[in-house]
Amino acid sequence: MEECCSTKAAKKDTHTEDHHTHDPHDHSHDTASKTTVQLFLPAIISFLVLLSGIGLDYFFQPEWFSGWIRAVWYIIAYIPVGIPVLKEAYQSITHGDVFSEFFLMGIATIGAFGIGEYPEGVAVMLFYSVGEVFQAIAVTRAKSNIKSLLDQRPDEVTVLENGIPKTVKAEKVNIGETIQLKSGEKLGLDGELISEKASFNTAALTGESKPDRKIKGETVLAGMINLNTVSLVKVTAAYKDSKLSRILELVQNATAQKAPTELFIRKFAKIYTPIVVFLAIGITFLPFFVVGDYQFKEWLYKALVFLVISCPCALVISIPLGYFGGIGAGSRNGILIKGSNFLDILANVRHVVMDKTGTMTEGVFNVQEVHFNQEFNQTEIVKLVNALESQSTHPVATAVRQFAGQADHTISLVNVEEIAGQGLKGIVNGKELLVGNFKLLDVYKITVTNKPENKADTLIAIAYDKKYAGYISIADRIKENAKITINQLKALNVKTTMLSGDKISVVQSVADQLGIENAYGDLLPEDKVNKVKEIKAENQTVVFVGDGVNDAPVVALSDVGIAMGGLGSDATIETADIVIQDDRPEKIPMAINIGKQTKKIVWQNITMAFMVKAVVLILGAGGIATMWEAVFADVGVALLAILNAVRIQNMKF
Residue 285: how many other CB atoms lie within 10 Å? 13
Pairing verdict, β 518-520 and 495-499: parallel
- Helical H segments across 378-516, by residue range: 378-389, 395-404, 438-443, 482-491, 504-514
Contacts 24+ apart (CB under 8 A), 427-430: 428/384, 428/387, 428/388, 428/464
Among the listed residues 344, 355, 577, 582, the single catalytic one is 355
- Ramachandran quadrant class, 96 (left: phi over 0; alpha: psi -120 to 50; beta: rest): left
C-alpha–C-alpha distance, residues 36 and 637, integer Å: 22
C-alpha–C-alpha distance, residues 224 and 579, integer Å: 18
- Mapping DSSP onto H, E and C, the string for 327-362 reads HHHHHHCCEEECCHHHHHHHHCCCEEEEECCCCCEE
Q: Which residues pair with 578 in a beta bridge?
A: 337, 562
* H or E element, residue 632: none
- Return the closest-CA partner of residue 243 out of 583, 561, 566: 566
Angle between helices 36-55 and 118-150 (to 10 degrees): 160
- Mapping DSSP onto H, E and C, the string for 509-540 reads HHHHHHCCCEEECCCCHHHHHHHHHHHHCCCC
C-alpha–C-alpha distance, residues 221 and 247, integer Å: 12
- Return the closest-CA partner of residue 485 out of 563, 591, 562, 561: 591
- Return the closest-CA partner of residue 81 out of 122, 110, 30, 135: 122
Pairing verdict, β 542-546 and 560-564: parallel
Answer for the pair 459, 472: CB distance below 8 angstroms, yes or no: yes
Q: Tell how far CA 504 is from the center of its chain.
A: 35
* H or E element, residue 79: helix 67-94
- Helical H segments across 622-653, by residue range: 627-631, 637-646
- Helical H segments across 151-225, by residue range: 203-206
CA distances from 610 to 243, 309, 344, 499 (A): 43, 10, 21, 45
* H or E element, residue 324: helix 313-332
DSSP line for 24-35: TT--HHHHHHS-
Three-class DSSP category at 80: helix
Pairing verdict, β 219-220 and 335-337: unpaired
Q: Which amino acid is at 403?
A: F
CA atoms within 13 A on the CB side of 334: 22
C-alpha–C-alpha distance, residues 394 and 454, integer Å: 24
C-alpha–C-alpha distance, residues 169 and 189, integer Å: 11
DSSP line for 402-422: HHH-S--TTS-EEEEEEETTT
* H or E element, residue 472: strand 467-478
Three-class DSSP category at 499: strand
- Residue 355: active-site member: yes
State the catalytic residues.
355
